Copies of this chain bind each other. A is one copy, B any other.
């Protein structure tokens, strides 16, 4: 169907040849004809670059020009777009992005950390040069949520956007849930299976999800990216008993990244939440990702799919390339950078909701009364309070579910109990998704 191509081939330089880079090469080879029909032209990798030329990547790189100095790509006339898959908030990825966009070279990236930290500046460079800065793969892998927010829901005032943004955490939590096992054991297995990194902290401490949330929030609300304002808690301290208690109450525990915008400011938080069974996020299992956006006309939109892996991520990268080939792109952050609002962070303490609190305490008289008194004095109204495992040698667990109230009261409860020798470890607080 060559006669149907509107344009000369789109010539791509691919920088970074890890799992995703290999996926992009395989995808462009496998679906070449279909992509050419959809894009209006063939999409061809012409140059590649990575740190180590000699590493075996299980994919034939011989058709492509190897470029040692990636900084030459920004100004080469025989390259139409640069795809960055190096990763990292700063360093070579950021240098390359700035060089390309300053030189007017369209830029496609999967780099959520770089965008969360430097997205505003990069969008301004792209805007100034009038070129594409595309990053569908940066959030929720293969799920087209960037497009969903930037375009699909663009007519709406979005009140909140939230979701399950890290597949590793979701795999660990849902495995703990299904098998009744502990965090450390499941994490170790996930590492052995390759589902979690040897150094897992980026995932399990919520940083990766916070990067993605920062990007989603900016698109959803038309506000400047503000990664530093994301309150981030990971899943290290979720124990099997929390999952069991939540299940008994009709909830599942998910690491939720949530952003809300309103007159009181922009609220952004990544933390494990209790999700009611009738909410679609409760049914997002294993390494899947999902995003929910609530708009004032569209209502609740829900997107689910594979949030990581070479295939899904490559799918998003190539979708961006197709948009570039079609000449269907515009402001990276959905509007001119100068039109983005500088929204102040909201005071989380004023948010109203229900919470789950779990204490590990000494097994002795008066401890329940001490906790109950602290909640009372902090103004927390208790919906249920359960003590289990009284026969444990190392203390007992007390789980509380509160009625809806201001979050500051929950914090005050913990402040009042801080230093009490009844508590054997730091209490766990999870908010409940309503």
Contact = CB atoms under 8 A, between A and B. Distances in A.
Nearest to A299: B306
A335 B297 contact: no
A295 B35 CA distance: 13
Interface stretch (A73-81, A150-158, A210-218, A406-414): A150-158
Given A34-B157, A222-B38, A151 B322 contact: yes
Count of chain copies: 2
Nearest to A335: B37
A196 interface: no
B330 A330 contact: no
A22 interface: no
Nearest to A309: B299
A144 interface: yes
Interface string A21-41: 001000100110011011110
Interface string A278-318: 00100100000000000111111111111000011011111
Contact of A315 (B37, B153, B306): B153
Contacts of A27: 155, 297
B147 A322 contact: no
The range of chain A's interface size is: 35 or more
B339 A4 contact: yes
A97 interface: no
Given A319-B154, A330-B328, A335-B40, A297 B23 contact: yes
Contacts of A398: none
Top 3 nearest A-B pairs by Cβ distance? A144-B152, A155-B318, A298-B315
24 contacts: A1-B339, A6-B336, A23-B297, A31-B156, A31-B157, A31-B296, A35-B154, A37-B336, A37-B339, A38-B334, A40-B330, A144-B148, A144-B151, A147-B151, A155-B322, A280-B283, A297-B311, A297-B312, A298-B305, A298-B316, A301-B303, A303-B304, A304-B304, A327-B330
